[in-house]
Chains A and B, each alone.
Chain A
Amino acid sequence: MSIELINISKTYVTLGRRRNVFRNFNLSIPPGLNLGVIGPNGSGKSTLLGILAGGIYPDTGKVLRRMSVSWPIGYGGGVASNLTGVVNCRFLARLYGRDPDKIVDFVTDFTELGEYMTWPVKTYSSGMRSRLNFALSMAIDFDCTLVDEGMGAGDQFFRTKAEALIEQRRKRSSFVMVTHNLIEVVNHCDQVLVLGGPEPELSDDVEGRVRQYIDEMTSRAAEPKTTQAAITKAEPQL
């Protein structure tokens, strides 16, 4: 049981420019691993999650999924806004071969949406919608859970409840977490994958690698080159 990425390559072409996000990249996610994925914007974090989830196809290479993989937590793509919360729950339950009634009960109970569950999702507030997305993501027990950025949804009370559930889930399944919250990575992850450098870097020393990453980012931000160039360019216009 694992997920294996074997020699994955992925390139995006934007405005005629090619950008290699991954080149012959290999990764193995065994059961129970908590992996944090960090890197600057545009380094390929969400692409990696998309490849793991199956929504993005790599240009070359193989993805072997030998365990069940979630869609990114909180992702609302599967929720149709003109359908009710209940119908959306039933759809995902059928898709994953689960008992629809149990999924509906779990989501209704966890989100505390009550009779709103029978209303079309387009009538929900954004907080209610993110509660529904979150609960739907957690309603099915996956062997590997994917998390993209902020998983906190709704008010403080709901967020506490959500975090407790995530903590529970973390203990019994693999977690791949894409985030800018480095404290969360240090606290929860067994390994960290750093993207954005010449090659993706996987490290077991999470705290050490995160510290190094902070130093790299700080020195990059303080680099006079880019700042000075921008100032020189702007000066004549002032």
Chain B
Amino acid sequence: MSAAATVTYAPPSPLVFQYRVLKALVLRDMAARHGSTRLGYLMGILMPIITLSSMIMMFGLRGKMVPADFSLGVFVVTGYPLWQGFQQMYSKVMNVAARQDPLLMFPQITQLDLILSVVILEVATYTVVFILLCIGVTIVFRADPPADPLGVLFCYWGCLWLGSALGMILCALQRAAPMVVQVINTFLRFGMWVSGVVFAINRLPSWLWPYLRWNPILHLVEGSRSLWNPAFQAPIFDPLYVLAIGFILTTLGFVLERITRKLVGS
């Protein structure tokens, strides 16, 4: 036998270990996504702004959908980015399963780390973009700034949270039952039309409201509007309901990730 190893193995504490792995993954993802071109980071912020501008133009043509006490820009910025954030989060987190990432060969990287790194990077990027959008519409449309900016931001983060939690569930289902994911995806495509993005809910007859109350994104969209503009009374906004749904989805996501984790390495 050759000489014994002299290196002493002292594994870092779990928190340090987790921080190290997530930092490495986030920085790598960031470089891979935005760092390959000179304008990469700028484009990451510009693209959502361009998309939103086209939405504002579309709403401008159909101005009747905007409530009277709302500026067009504020109405759009408190609706579409929230839905888009939710949608982007769930699709990006879900796609972690489809990537079959070779990084999983490294013992310290689990599928959950890949999911968390995607969540951290996306939440950071979208938050910057959302804040810029809010400042932008306030200036361009000469609208009043949000009455409760932190509340509006929390509504936005709520959508990102729900998207991430749903993405985790779909990520696990993608391995176990891909058909179910296709059905859910088809269903989610219509989500924008029942989430108060294209029209405020009080534009619909009140007998329809109870049928839409299940949708947590609708709660957050309506909530962000009423928090921006207190004159707007949101008929559907229950933060406790959103929190409950968020916790249920997150717990389910973690449990399913744990159950399907072994399928990843096989």
Residue B187, interface by CB 8 Å: no
- Evaluate whether A91 and B2 lie within 8 angstroms (CB atoms) in the complex, with A55-B105, A77-B105, A83-B32 already known: no
Name, among A72, A76, A78, A190, the residue most crowded by chain B CB atoms within 10 Å (CB to CB): A78
Q: Give the 7 A-B CB pairs with smallest separation, nearest first.
A: A54-B107, A77-B102, A55-B105, A94-B24, A32-B4, A57-B265, A31-B5
Residues of A within 8 A of B262 (CB): 57, 59
A→B interface (CB under 8 Å): 1, 12, 30-34, 50, 53-57, 59, 65-69, 71-72, 75-78, 80, 82-83, 87, 90-92, 94-95, 97, 120, 141, 143, 170-174, 190
Shortest B69–chain A CB gap in Å is 48
Residues of B within 8 A of A92 (CB): 24
- Evaluate whether A71 and B105 lie within 8 angstroms (CB atoms) in the complex, with A32-B5, A94-B27, A172-B5 already known: yes
Residue B190, interface by CB 8 Å: no
Q: A78-B106, A94-B23, A172-B7 are in contact. List 6 more A-B contacts (CB 8 A).
A: A1-B9, A54-B105, A54-B106, A71-B106, A97-B12, A172-B3
Closest to B262 in A: A57
Residues of A within 8 A of B7 (CB): 67-68, 141, 143, 172-173
Identify B36's interface contact among A54, A67, A120, A173, CB under 8 A: A120
Distance between Cα atoms of A34 and B1 in the complex (Å): 7
- Evaluate whether A12 and B266 lie within 8 angstroms (CB atoms) in the complex, with A82-B36, A95-B24, A171-B2 already known: yes
- Evaluate whether A80 and B28 lie within 8 angstroms (CB atoms) in the complex, with A53-B107, A69-B107, A87-B35 already known: yes
Q: List 28 A-B contacts (CB under 8 A).
A: A31-B4, A31-B5, A32-B2, A32-B5, A56-B265, A65-B107, A67-B7, A68-B7, A69-B107, A77-B106, A78-B102, A80-B32, A82-B36, A83-B35, A87-B28, A90-B27, A91-B24, A91-B28, A94-B24, A94-B27, A95-B24, A97-B12, A120-B36, A170-B2, A171-B2, A172-B3, A172-B5, A174-B5
